[in-house]
Amino acid sequence: MGAGNVAARHARVLSGFPDVRIAAVADTDVTRAATLAAEHGAACYDSHETLLDGERLDAVYVCVPPFAHGPVELAVLEAGLPLFVEKPLALDEQTARRVSEAVRRRRVVTAVGHHWRYLDVVEQARRLLGDRPVRLALGVWLDKVPPVPWWPRRDGSGGQVIEQAVHVLDLARLLVGEVAEVSAHESGHPPEHGETAVGAATGALLRFRDGAVGLLGATCLLGWKHRAGLEVYAEGIALQLSEEQLVVDTGEGRTVITESGDAKHRVDRAFVDAVLGRGQDVRAPYDDALRTHRLACAVARAAAGGAPVTLPDHDG
């Protein structure tokens, strides 16, 4: 469902698996659906409803923009089908919560596109930290306005933290733990997009439940992707993580470890294996990704309202 950039990437990866056939593609822009469908010898539809009516499926990928989440997932779950959903889960928290409740009722396999969890360097960082608690986390997402029409609109993407920096927040949850409170502010709008556009820069302060502290900085004012990643500091160790590498410093010189895995391949393989009952390596099922989404929404709310937002220590 959704036949844009990220759907094309998943379709490319999936079509390389010997045990997967892409049966059909749906997009509200039927030309886009037809183009992607033709590349994979699949059927094409103009909506998720017509696709679900027309096909017998084993699983569905939902690759729609943030504003379109909700109805698509609920229909897939109503059909009892396993579900892979691209991040962010939605524009807001309520929509994702409704989907999460349906996931719980249906008990199907789910996965969310937090592929950073499959980076080799993330696994190495966890090993290097061992049981040393992280006390400080510094996250950044310094980038351009992505070239998709819905992105600069707040009611299209939800803003840069919900849409992009959510990868960094997910990693912070993995390496540091759950967040108890956030404060945040944002500044300006990207030029040419007007007052209703997303913020041009966001700065956030995070207090983790175990007392660790974190800072997040994001901007979409650049014409290029400058840097996106997370630094974590624990007693006697500094780690700098990105999709490309891990820089380790323990006071005896810096070691640079280049990412060697293929996280974007592994995230799809893990989902397919789980659907086939052959594996249990889904690292961000829907209910876990909901916690990351809830954190991103809290940062966005704090930035919009100017007051700190407390996150309850339960999921309800």
Residue nearest to ligand NAD (CB): 4
Contact between 298 and ligand NAD by CB under 6 A: the answer reads no
CB of 51 to ligand NAD, least distance (A): 9
Q: How far apart are CA 139 and CA 165, in angstroms?
A: 8
Q: Which of 20, 44, 72, 290 binds ligand NAD (CB under 6 A)?
A: 72
Binding mask 10-49 for ligand NAD (x = CB under 6 A): ----------------xxxx--x---------------x-
Cα–Cα distance, 230 to 141 (Å, whole number): 9
- What is the distance between the terminal CA atoms of the chain, rounded to a whole angstrom? 29
**C-alpha pair distances (Å), 90 with each of 118, 159, 161, 294:** 22, 11, 12, 10
If binding is defined by CB under 6 A, does position 3 make contact with ligand NAD? yes
Of 227, 222, 229, 228, the C-alpha closest to 144 is 222
Select the span of 83-91, 103-111, 136-144, 226-234 touching ligand NAD (CB under 6 A): 83-91
Tell me if 82 contacts ligand NAD by CB under 6 A: no
Residue from the set 42, 59, 68, 162 that interacts with ligand NAD by CB under 6 A: 68
Q: Rounded to whole angstroms, how far apart are CA atoms 50 and 37?
A: 15
Q: Residue 236: left if φ>0, alpha if ψ -120 to 50, beta else—which one?
A: left
By the rule CB under 6 A, 148 interacts with ligand NAD: yes
* Stretch 162-221 residues interacting with ligand NAD (CB under 6 A): 163
Bridge partners, residue 197, by sequence = 153
What is the nearest approach in angstroms of ligand NAD to the Cβ of residue 172?
17
Going by C-beta distance under 8 Å and a sequence separation of 6 or more, which residues neighbour residue 314? none
- The answer to whether 86 contacts ligand NAD (rule: CB under 6 A) is yes
Q: Are strands 245-249 and 237-242 parallel, antiparallel or unpaired?
A: antiparallel
- Bridge partner residues of 43 (DSSP): 24
53 in contact with ligand NAD (CB under 6 A): no
User: Where on the chain is the footprint of ligand NAD (CB under 6 A)?
Assistant: 1-7, 26-29, 32, 48, 63-66, 68, 72, 86-88, 113, 115, 148, 163
